[in-house]
Structure 1
Amino acid sequence: MREFADHILARAQETKHPVTNLSLQKIMYFVLRNSSQILTRDEQEEIYSEPFLVWRYGPVVESEYNRFNIFGSSEIVGEYQANQRYEKLNPLIDKFLDVAPFRMVSASHTHHFWKNNQEAIVYGRSDISYPLDEVLRDGTTN
């Protein structure tokens, strides 16, 4: 997931889109969720090296959240490496770079897995992992 996050950040910088930790988490989730027409199942499994967890503001990859937590709600800055393996996802990444973060949060809260596990959230977090099939559930933003 680290290389995937880095690729999204590199793409955001290339297209001059500011990205916060919250927006990065949601872009990672929705790009992967909508990737079935672009990636093989093996490629999706390769990206999904660490699961999303059910948190207050939707799915979060904890290691990436912790990595960028220092930025708070500010734009993530630094140099990030694009990855040629993920270039075919750029149109999806671009699409979600244009979506307001809290719109993605609200959309993620409509997904069955989050709704069915939201009771486990304590102090904004839970340790409930999304299985890849739940991330990919139906390939829509709902």
Structure 2
Amino acid sequence: MKKKNPEILDLAYHIFGVAKEADKPITNLQLQRIMFFAFGFHIRVVGRLDYTACTLYDNPFHRWEYGPVSPEAFYRYTRFRSSPITTCFTIKDPKLNHLNPLITSLLDIDGFELARLSRRLPSWSDWGEEIITDKYVEPYSLWDILRDFSEDSKIMRLLDDIGKRENIETKKLLDGSNMSEWLKLTPKDSIEVDIGSYLRRLEETEEIRPEISQNIQDMTKNLLNEMYEQGKLDGSKENCK
């Protein structure tokens, strides 16, 4: 029997497993923001949109008033309201163990404070007026999250501090360069080829649908062109054509 790909709920189950092991309560408000921060921190640590990130993100986070929310997880545990979630499926995924120090630390932070932190990230704050006036805003794309967690901001330095401290699992993943440095030192065409080759391998093993692969490649091209055009990466406009 073919092993199923990880899904966004698997991240929630892993967080519950860490909370149970640490004997710490967790509310739905906390869960939503910890899921988002843990998912983004994984991308920050590995320095790219790897297989785990692409497959975990089967259902996107939505931009709600109090920050990012996974509707699939939120509505599953909404019956607990503001109380700690007491009935839940817990299973720790070894592929996510590098997130455990971050998750454990975030469990000590109030849900409303986590919401405040999440709303300071550009992917939420850039749409803040539309969100609070209840206008439609598209869900978070992988590239929204990648850009949030590739920046050198106070929030990212905070996550780096609490997420990488004494973490052997994370140190192994940090052998490669981080995303921002990789983008700066790699020609645009090579980045597109690397990502395209990786996605084709996933297609061949039926781990990703062709239409999703094509969407990711299109977004990659558009994002890189935008970043080069704005001078955020090394290279001239001519190199983008």
Q: TM-score range by the shorter chain?
A: 0.7 to 0.9
Number of residue-to-residue matches in the alignment:
142
Pair 1:4-2:11 in alignment: yes
Equivalent positions of 1:87-126 (< 5 A) are: 87-121=97-131
2:49 matched residue in structure 1: 41
Measure how far apart 1:114 and its partner are. Answer: 1.0
Question: CA, structure 1 residues 19+125, in 2 after alignment: closer, same or farther (shift >3 Å)?
Answer: farther
Q: Is the 8 A contact 2:17 2:90 kept in 1?
A: yes
Question: CA, structure 1 residues 123+22, in 2 after alignment: closer, same or farther (shift >3 Å)?
Answer: farther
SS in 2 for 1:4: helix
Measure how far apart 1:112 and its partner are. Answer: 1.5
2:93 matched residue in structure 1: 83
Unaligned runs of 5+ in 1: none
Question: CA, structure 1 residues 126+66, in 2 after alignment: closer, same or farther (shift >3 Å)?
Answer: farther
Higher-Rg structure is 2
* Cα distance in 2 between the residues matched to 1:75 and 1:124: 28
Measure how far apart 1:62 and its partner are. Answer: 0.5
* Cα distance in 1 between the residues matched to 2:35 and 2:54: 14
Q: Is the 8 A contact 1:17 1:97 kept in 2?
A: yes
TM-score normalised per structure 1: 0.87
Question: CA, structure 1 residues 89+134, in 2 after alignment: closer, same or farther (shift >3 Å)?
Answer: same
Say which structure is richer in helix.
Answer: 2
TM-score normalised per structure 2: 0.53
Counterpart code for 1:108: S
* Cα distance in 2 between the residues matched to 1:100 and 1:6: 20
* Cα distance in 2 between the residues matched to 1:132 and 1:101: 23
2:20 matched residue in structure 1: 13
State percent identity of aligned pairs: 32
> Runs in 1 of length 4+ with deviation above 4 angstroms?
122-127
Question: CA, structure 1 residues 54+126, in 2 after alignment: closer, same or farther (shift >3 Å)?
Answer: farther
SS in 2 for 1:94: helix
In terms of mean alpha carbon deviation, does 111-120 or 9-18 score higher? 111-120
Provide, for residues 34-88 of structure 1, a one-character-per-residue CA deviation record: whole Å limited to 9, x for no partner: 2221475222222222111010110000111000101001000124222222122
Q: Is the 8 A contact 1:22 1:73 kept in 2?
A: yes
Cα RMSD, aligned residues only: 2.2
